[in-house]
Amino acid sequence: MKNARRPLLALAVLAALAAATAPAAFSASAPTTTPTAHPASLPDQKTIVIDPGHGGLDVGAKGKFGNVEKTVTLAISQKLKALIEQNMAYRVLLTRDKDIDISLENRSALANNNDAVLFISIHANGSFRPATGAETFYMSLTDLDEETRKLAYLENNSSQLEKRIADEAKDDVKMILWDMAQAAYIKQSARLAETIQGELPALLTMKGRPSRSLAVENRGIKQARFKVLTGVACPAVLVEVAFISNPEEEQKLINVEFQTNVAQAIYRGLVSYIKSIGPPPPPPSPHPSPSPAP
Ligand SMILES: [Zn+2]
């Protein structure tokens, strides 16, 4: 009898260890653990992870006027988090809620450690060539065309910084991260990319402001080998909202109205994705469909 129980005991110990170490790992590297930003989930409450691209020393792409990607992505992510929490019965975690370094691995692991059902990474595009527009990516298992390979290289390039962070935190970071976990979710991720990208151009066209449109071009959905997506064990996409390397779009990106519109577009995309796969079972409310929070 004793022997039979031993594997169970070992499992319980492992589970306890994982429970004890996982939040500690992230409280050190990802300050999403403030009481308001990281609430405990209700028993069956699902978690959505939003990932504001870059942060800290990794500023991301830069604009001609000195604006940087990491600031814009955080602003949009915070707006998106607020929208989801106000209207849906999901818990939302940000991989960062301030200007700090976080490795791409830790971003994916935050999603896996919290059994996230959706992962959305927010970015602003950069290109040496004149380019404009919004595009949504999901992971590719193979290398594709030259342009997406270059973009993936730029987005994955913060890995030099990550190596340093990983070395520093090697002993206390216990991550649940499965290599290429995303491979099992490609189909759902493609669908999520489709619904989000489907909302972006429409909402970015400003109503009632014909002289100063905040519209951006629709570049469609694409696939690329983004490192931040490969280890995520749920449907995951990376949204390149607009080109910060394009001076006109840089101005849009720092516009609060534009940021709000982007957050709303992504939110609507999420809602239609969730509707298309059927509602999750949120315990506090009988239906997860958008309804204004009290
Ligand atoms: Zn980026």
Q: Tell how far the Cα of 268 is from the centroid of ligand 1, in angstroms.
A: 22
Q: How many domains does the chain have?
A: 1
Q: Are 104 and 228 in contact (CB under 8 A)?
A: yes
For residue 55, what is the enclosing H or E element? Answer: none
In 132-273, DSSP assigns E strands to 134-139, 218-224, 236-243
Query: Checking phi first, is residue 124 left (phi over 0); if not, alpha (psi -120 to 50) or beta?
Result: beta
Range of the domain at 268: 46-277
Is 284 a domain residue? no
Q: How far is the CA of 54 from the centre of ligand 1 (A)?
A: 6
CATH number at residue 232: 3.40.630.40
Whole-number Cα distances in Å, 123 to 69, 88, 153, 205, 259: 7, 23, 14, 19, 12
Cα 8 to averaged position of ligand 1 atoms, centre (Å): 43
At residue 287, the pLDDT reads 55
Q: Is residue 62 part of a domain?
A: yes
Distance from residue 292's CA to the centre of ligand 1 (Å): 32
How much distance in Å is there from the Cα of 244 to the middle of ligand 1?
10
User: 68 CA to middle of ligand 1, Å?
Assistant: 10
Residue 293, domain member (yes or no): no
**Would you state the pLDDT for residue 119?**
98
Report how far ligand 1's centroid is from the alpha carbon of 57 (Å): 13
Strands laid side by side in the 90-94 sheet: 90-94, 46-52, 116-125, 236-243, 134-139, 218-224
Give the pLDDT confidence score for residue 236 in this predicted structure.
Answer: 97
Helix ranges, 88-181 (H): 104-113, 146-156, 159-168
- CA 239 to ligand 1 center in whole angstroms: 9
286 occurs within a structural domain: no
Instruction: Output the pTM of the full model.
Output: 0.74
Instruction: Find the 137 Cα to ligand 1 centroid distance in Å.
Output: 12
pLDDT tens string, the chain, 294 residues long: the values are 444 444 443 444 344 434 433 333 333 333 333 333 455 666 678 999 999 999 999 999 999 999 999 999 999 999 999 999 999 999 999 999 999 999 999 999 999 999 999 999 999 999 888 888 899 999 987 766 777 878 888 888 765 555 554 554 444 444 455 667 898 999 999 999 999 999 987 655 544 443 346 667 788 888 888 889 999 999 999 999 999 999 999 999 999 999 999 999 999 999 999 999 875 555 455 555 555 544
What spacing in Å lies between the alpha carbon of 44 and ligand 1's midpoint?
A: 33
In a domain, 192, yes or no: yes
Distance 91 CA to ligand 1 centre (A): 24
> Pairing mode, if any, of strands 116-125 and 90-94?
unpaired
Taking the centre of ligand 1 as the mean of its atom positions, its distance from the CA of residue 127, in whole angstroms, is 11
What span, in angstroms and rounded, lies between the C-alpha atoms of 108 and 264? Answer: 24
* 129 assigned to some structural domain: yes
**Is 106 inside a domain boundary?**
yes
What distance in Å separates the CA atoms of residue 37 and residue 15, rounded to the nearest whole number? Answer: 24
Cβ-count burial of 134 within 10 angstroms (0-12 exposed, 13-18 middle, 19+ buried)? Answer: buried
Dist. CA 162 → ligand 1 center (Å): 14
| 118 alpha carbon – ligand 1 mean position (Å) | 19
pLDDT score for 181: 86
Q: How far apart are CA 294 and CA 290, in angstroms?
A: 12
Q: Does residue 147 lie within any of the structural domains?
A: yes
Query: Helix axis angle, 2-29 relative to 104-113, nearest 10°?
Result: 130
